[in-house]
Amino acid sequence: MAKWTLVALSLLSLGVVGLAAQVELHLFWAVGCPNCEVMEEFLTGLASAHPELVIVRHEVAYHPDEWRLMQQLAQAYGIEPSETPVVFVGDLATVGIGRAVELRIAEEVERCLAEGCPSPLSRLPEDGTWVPAPFELMLLALAALAVLVILVQLTSP
C-alpha cells in the first residue's frame, strides 16, 4: 500500500511541475536596432533557462499597430519609451539595454514564475479604448491647428 501511495505522490508531483504557469513577456523592437539584437540574445537565453517564459515580439518600426500597442502599455505602466527595445513583464517595464536591465527582467520573470503574473496586456482597458498620452494630445492639437490654418488660407479671398 505504501508503495502505491509513493507512486501516486510521485505522479502527482510530476503533474504539478508540468502545470507551471507561463509568464508572458512582451518585447517591442525595431528593425536595424543594435540594442534590440542584444536584448533578443539575452531573452533567448532566459527563455531557454525558463521554458515557461513566453516571449511575444512586436516590431514597431514598420508596424504602426504594434507601435500604438507599445504606447498604450507604456501609458498603463507609467513610462515614456524613448528608444527600443522596450520590455513589459509582470509589474516591470524597461527601456533600453544593460546588465541592470537584464537583472531586473530576470528577477521579475522568476518572481512571476513563483507567484504568477497576469499578461501585461491585462493592464489595457477592456473595451479597447485608448486614452492618448499628453505628448500625443499635443501632436493631435498641432495637427488640428495646421488643418485649421490651411482651411482659413484656402477660404480667404
User: Which one-letter DSSP state was computed for residue 98?
Assistant: S
Structural domain boundaries in the chain? 20-126
Higher pLDDT, 14 or 87: 87
Q: pTM, whole model, 2 decimals?
A: 0.70
Structural class in CATH, domain 20-126: alpha beta
Give the residues across from 95 on adjacent strands. 86
**pLDDT score, position 126:** 78
pLDDT, one tens digit per residue, over 67-124 is 999 999 999 999 999 999 999 999 999 999 999 999 999 999 999 999 999 999 999 9
Q: How far apart are CA 112 and CA 91, in angstroms?
A: 9
CA distances from 18 to 13, 22, 51, 77, 145 (A): 9, 11, 11, 31, 58
SS3 59: strand
